[in-house]
Every structure is written in C-alpha cells, then in structure tokens.
Amino acid sequence: MSRSKLSFRELAFESPAYFESIKLRDRILRKPLGLQFKPEDLVREGSDYHLALMDENAKLIACLVLTPIDKERVRMRQVAVEESAQGRGIGRQLVVKAESFARKKGYREMSCHARSVVLPFYLKMNYKIVEGPFTEVGIEHYKMSKKL
C-alpha cells in the first residue's frame, strides 16, 4: 500500500465508515487489553470529530477521535493504525492532518493521553509531556500537549 494514495476523511457519527473505525479501534486498542467497546462508551461520541485515512479501495487504514475541551483546546484520542500498516509513516500523516483540521476549526492546543509504549511517537510529533505517569485502562500513560 502506498502512502500517497491515502485519503483523509471526516467520518459522520454512526455512518458505516464510523462503524468501520470502531472495529479498527476495538481490534488495535481494546482487544490487546482484554477490553471491548460497549454501546454506552460510544453514545458520548456524537459531538466528537472522527477522522480517518482510507486506502485507494476506500478501506479504513487509520483513525483517531478529536474531543473538544473548550473553544481553544481539543483532545486527541484513540489513535489507531491497521497493524499491517504500522511503521510506515501513516500515524504521522494522520496526526499532521488532524492537527491542521483542528487548527482550521479554531483550536489552538491539542492534548492526548499517550500510552508510555508509544511515547516516542508523540515526542517525534513534537508533543511535550505535561503530566504523568498515571494509569488508565490498566496501563501507564502520560498527558502530552502541543500548541497548534
């Protein structure tokens, strides 16, 4: 799969592509921890932005969620890249596009709770540690932040 053929999309809440993103998030982020999404986890997501990269066959390869905190601050959550596509610059491409998307909406700061195993990924994307470590979903995390 070629990086250049990926297209960036905003997914409408509860659209078929949104449910594809739930499957990817479940497989990449939840199942390895012995967890799975419940309907009540998802009802809150109606006011979030759901962003994704699709391949040339419109298959969803990577996704993330942006949750507004207030007018200027937004939280990036649930960053997931299809396992077979990891380590090829796709996560970086999605985060860069999401930052630009957020900037255009008027947000000035992006934060996230990064799993400590992927701390180097966010450090390379110029996020700074602002808090932590702390435990969330049973694993160590750091709060990180970046001015947009």
Largest CA distance in the chain: 40
Where is 95: in which H helix or E strand? helix 90-104
Residue 75 CB, nearest distance to ligand COA (Å)? 12
Residue 103 Cβ vs ligand COA, minimum distance, rounded to whole Å: 20
Site string for ligand COA, 44-83 (x = CB under 6 A): -----------------------------------xxx--
Binding residue (CB under 6 A) for ligand COA from 66, 90, 102, 144: 90
Q: Where are the beta strands (DSSP E) in 99-138?
A: 109-115, 128-136
141: buried, middle or exposed (CB in 10 Å: 19+, 13-18, 0-12)?
buried
Chosen residue from 87, 104, 138, 147 binding ligand COA by CB under 6 A: 87
Instruction: Provide the token pair at 143.
Output: 């709060």
- The residues that touch ligand COA, with contacts defined as CB under 6 A, are 28-29, 79-81, 86-92, 114-115, 117-118, 120-121, 124
